[in-house]
């Protein structure tokens, strides 16, 4: 399979774009993960600091409470009062920062119970010292209750700190791996972009070279086409003058022969001469139509607004001699204004309307309808309909060919080039032609023109 430069460039761009998109998506999620880990690390560090603060607050409260029990000095209760007011807030913050860990939340539940129990016991002992003095708490001073509770708090906090440190280590490894992958992906993206730029440069250089070669070939072919057009014009001139002259001679000498031998020629001989004269005239008309057909493909087109309703009136007036004495019912509906070459579109209407006049000649009341119809988006459709002899739809594709006739010359005159001219003109305008008909049931010929016509 041979791919053009454009296809290869599009395929290359698409492939690189797909890789870049994949790299971008992966980098996005890696970056998102790094940011999430960074936020989680901040929470873990906050939790570690808070655990240290809780332990310090609990130990200070225990030390102050024991001193108060021994001395009864009120100032030693300051750490205890601070713990009572601060520990609930510290525990609440710790619960928020470890909310994503079920294990830490479970340890925190145990820690809260231990701290609450320790504070409640301390409160009762302080009240006992206040009410009964030193003798009332002598047996508590050397008891191991407080020491055991602080040791349990210290051990639980140590477990929570170890868990947070493990989590920090795991996140650090994940972040390092994500950073490494992101760097590799960005390096790969840079490499792909470099390859793409290099490929684009190569393809552009190659395309420029190829375009220069094509331009040279087109210039050479244009010169050949110009030479061929000149030869065709010379041939047309030869046909116009050199071929029609013998036909005029044939027709002229047939007339002279008929006059000179009018008394000696019988009816059969005069019929032969009439056939020769008619054939010469028909050959001359055929040559004229061929010249028009050949010039139609080379003629320069104009692009101006064409008012089809006005053009139809002019064509009707031009065909007045053909319709004189005929019983024709004309039905002309609103016609659109189009853009195109007025002379060429005039020829289209002349061919279609004159055909309708010709092929309804056998009807006592001919009906010819001209109007517009709906078509494809972006086009205007015009039709010419008659109630004439019609045609068989199996031969519809022959109608617009050169020299294609569906009726005998004895029945209807013509050279078979008119509809070929119609198709060529409409095609040059960027439109299309088609027909519908039934045998002895009339015919309808359609042509379309684009709403924004650009001449070919």
**For the chain, domain boundaries:** 5-204, 301-450
Give residue 449's pLDDT: 93
Q: What is the C-alpha separation between 309 and 316, in angstroms, rounded?
A: 11
For residue 382, which of 433, 331, 317 has the smallest C-alpha distance? 433
pLDDT class of 444 with cuts at 50, 70, 90: very high
Please check the confidence at residue 166 and state whether its pLDDT lies above 50: yes
Give residue 102's pLDDT: 92
Q: What is the CATH number of domain 301-450?
A: 3.30.565.10
Q: What percent of the chain has pLDDT over 70?
A: 79
Instruction: Classify residue 444 by its DSSP letter.
Output: E
The DSSP annotation for 371-440 comes to EEE--STTEEEEEEEE-SS---GGGGGGTTSTT--SS-TTTS---S-HHHHHHHHHHHTT--EEEEE-TT
Give residue 456's pLDDT: 44
Higher pLDDT, 193 or 292: 193
Where is average pLDDT lowest: 46-50, 260-264, 326-330? 260-264
The DSSP annotation for 163-211 comes to HHHHHHHHHHHHHHHHHHHHHHHHHHHHHHHHHHHHHHHHHHHHHHHHH
Task: Report whether 402 contacts 382 (CB < 8 A).
Answer: no
What's the full length of the chain, in residues? 456
Q: What is the C-alpha separation between 137 and 145, in angstroms, rounded?
A: 13
Give residue 367's pLDDT: 95
Sign of CA dihedral 234, 237, 241, 243: positive
In this prediction, residues 218-236 reach a mean pLDDT of 67
Where is average pLDDT lowest: 68-77, 80-89, 262-271, 423-432? 262-271
pLDDT class of 412 with cuts at 50, 70, 90: very low
Give residue 402's pLDDT: 52
> Integer distance in angstroms from the first to the last C-alpha of the chain?
32
Q: What is the token pair recorded at 43?
A: 């929470």
Give residue 191's pLDDT: 84
Give residue 243's pLDDT: 61
Please check the confidence at residue 226 and state whether its pLDDT lies above 90: no
Give residue 396's pLDDT: 83
Helix or strand holding residue 223 (H, E): helix 145-238
Give residue 447's pLDDT: 94
Please check the confidence at residue 213 and state whether its pLDDT lies above 70: yes
Q: What is the C-alpha separation between 125 and 121, in angstroms, rounded?
A: 6
Please check the confidence at residue 205 and state whether its pLDDT lies above 70: yes
CB atoms within 10 A of CB 431: 23
Give residue 454's pLDDT: 44
Q: What is the mean pLDDT of the chain?
A: 80
In this prediction, residues 418-445 reach a mean pLDDT of 90
Phi-psi group of 308: left, alpha or beta (phi > 0 → left; psi -120 to 50 → alpha; rest → beta): alpha
Please check the confidence at residue 6 and state whether its pLDDT lies above 90: no
Give residue 231's pLDDT: 59
The per-residue pLDDT for range 108-165, each reduced to its tens digit, is 999 999 899 888 888 888 888 888 888 777 777 666 555 678 888 889 999 999 999 9
Rg, C-alpha atoms of the chain: 53
What does the angle CA 87 – CA 89 – CA 93 come to, to the nearest 5 degrees?
115
Give residue 409's pLDDT: 47
Residues 6+ apart with CB under 8 A from 54: 87, 90, 91, 94, 111, 115, 157
Higher pLDDT, 202 or 332: 332
Please check the confidence at residue 328 and state whether its pLDDT lies above 90: yes
Higher pLDDT, 267 or 324: 324
Q: What is the dihedral of CA 184, 185, 190, 192, to 10 degrees?
A: 120
pTM of the full structure: 0.42
CB atoms within 10 A of CB 446: 19
Task: Report whether 443 contacts 359 (CB < 8 A).
Answer: yes
Higher pLDDT, 283 or 266: 266
Task: Report whether 350 contacts 320 (CB < 8 A).
Answer: no
pLDDT class of 345 with cuts at 50, 70, 90: very high
Q: What are the b/e assignments for 400-426, b being 16+ CB within 10 Å?
A: beeeebbeeeeebebbbbbbbbbbbbb
Give residue 411's pLDDT: 47
For residue 157, which of 236, 102, 64, 94 has the smallest C-alpha distance? 94
Q: What is the token pair recorded at 332?
A: 């002309």
Phi-psi group of 365: left, alpha or beta (phi > 0 → left; psi -120 to 50 → alpha; rest → beta): beta
The per-residue pLDDT for range 356-410, each reduced to its tens digit, is 999 898 899 999 999 999 888 989 999 999 999 888 888 788 777 654 545 454 4
Residues of the chain by 3-state class (helix, strand, coil), percent to 5: 70, 10, 20
Please check the confidence at residue 430 and state whether its pLDDT lies above 60: yes
Give residue 384's pLDDT: 95
Where is average pLDDT lowest: 109-113, 234-238, 382-386, 438-442? 234-238
Cα of 444 vs its chain's centroid, Å: 38
Task: Report whether 168 contacts 104 (CB < 8 A).
Answer: no
In this prediction, residues 197-220 reach a mean pLDDT of 79
Give residue 395's pLDDT: 79
- Which contacts qualify for 132-141: CB closer than 8 Å, 24 or more apart? 133/72, 134/69, 134/70, 134/72, 137/69, 140/69, 141/66, 141/69, 141/70
Instruction: Classify residue 142 by its DSSP letter.
Output: T
What does the angle CA 331 – CA 337 – CA 340 come to, to the nearest 5 degrees?
115
Where is average pLDDT lowest: 290-299, 324-333, 372-381? 290-299
């Amino acid at each position: 399979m041979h791919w053009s430069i454009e296809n290869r460039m599009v395929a290359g761009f698409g492939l690189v774009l797909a890789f870049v998109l994949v790299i971008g998506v992966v980098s996005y999620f890696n970056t998102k993960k790094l940011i999430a880990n960074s936020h989680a690390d901040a929470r873990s560090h906050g939790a570690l600091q808070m655990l240290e603060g809780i332990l310090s607050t609990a130990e200070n409260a225990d030390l102050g409470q024991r001193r108060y029990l021994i001395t009864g000095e009120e100032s030693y209760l300051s750490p205890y009062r601070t713990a009572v007011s601060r520990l609930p807030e510290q525990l609440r913050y710790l619960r928020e920062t470890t909310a994503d860990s079920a294990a830490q939340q479970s340890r925190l539940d145990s820690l809260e119970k231990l701290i609450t129990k320790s504070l409640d016991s301390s409160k009762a002992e302080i009240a006992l010292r206040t009410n009964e003095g030193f003798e009332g708490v002598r047996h508590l001073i050397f008891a191991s209750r407080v020491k055991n509770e602080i040791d349990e708090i210290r051990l639980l906090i140590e477990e929570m700190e170890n868990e947070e440190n493990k989590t920090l280590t795991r996140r650090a490894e994940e972040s390092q791996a994500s950073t490494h992958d992101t760097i590799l992906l960005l390096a790969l993206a840079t490499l792909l972009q470099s390859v793409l730029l290099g490929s684009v440069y190569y393809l552009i250089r190659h395309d420029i070279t190829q375009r220069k070669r094509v331009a040279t070939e087109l210039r050479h072919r244009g010169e050949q086409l110009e030479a061929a057009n000149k030869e065709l014009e010379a041939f047309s001139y030869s046909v116009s003058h050199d071929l029609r002259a013998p036909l005029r001679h044939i027709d002229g000498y047939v007339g002279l022969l008929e006059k000179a031998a009018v008394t000696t020629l019988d009816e059969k001989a005069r019929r032969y001469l009439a056939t020769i004269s008619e054939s010469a005239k028909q050959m001359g008309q055929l040559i004229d139509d061929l010249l028009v057909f050949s010039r139609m493909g080379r003629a320069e087109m104009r692009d101006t607004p064409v008012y089809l309703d006005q053009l139809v009136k002019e064509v009707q007036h031009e065909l007045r001699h053909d319709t004189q004495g005929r019983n024709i019912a004309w039905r002309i509906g609103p016609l659109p204004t189009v853009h195109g070459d007025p002379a060429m579109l005039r020829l289209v209407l002349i061919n279609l309307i004159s055909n309708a006049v010709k092929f309804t000649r056998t009807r006592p009341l001919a009906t010819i309808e001209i109007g517009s119809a709906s078509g494809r988006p972006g086009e205007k459709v015009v039709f010419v309909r008659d109630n004439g002899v019609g045609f068989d739809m199996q031969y519809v594709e022959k109608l617009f060919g050169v020299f294609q006739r569906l009726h005998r010359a004895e029945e209807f005159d013509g050279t078979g080039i008119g509809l070929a001219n119609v198709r060529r003109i409409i095609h040059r305008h960027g439109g299309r032609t088609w027909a519908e008909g039934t045998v002895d049931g009339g015919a309808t010929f359609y042509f379309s023109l684009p709403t924004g016509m650009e001449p070919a």
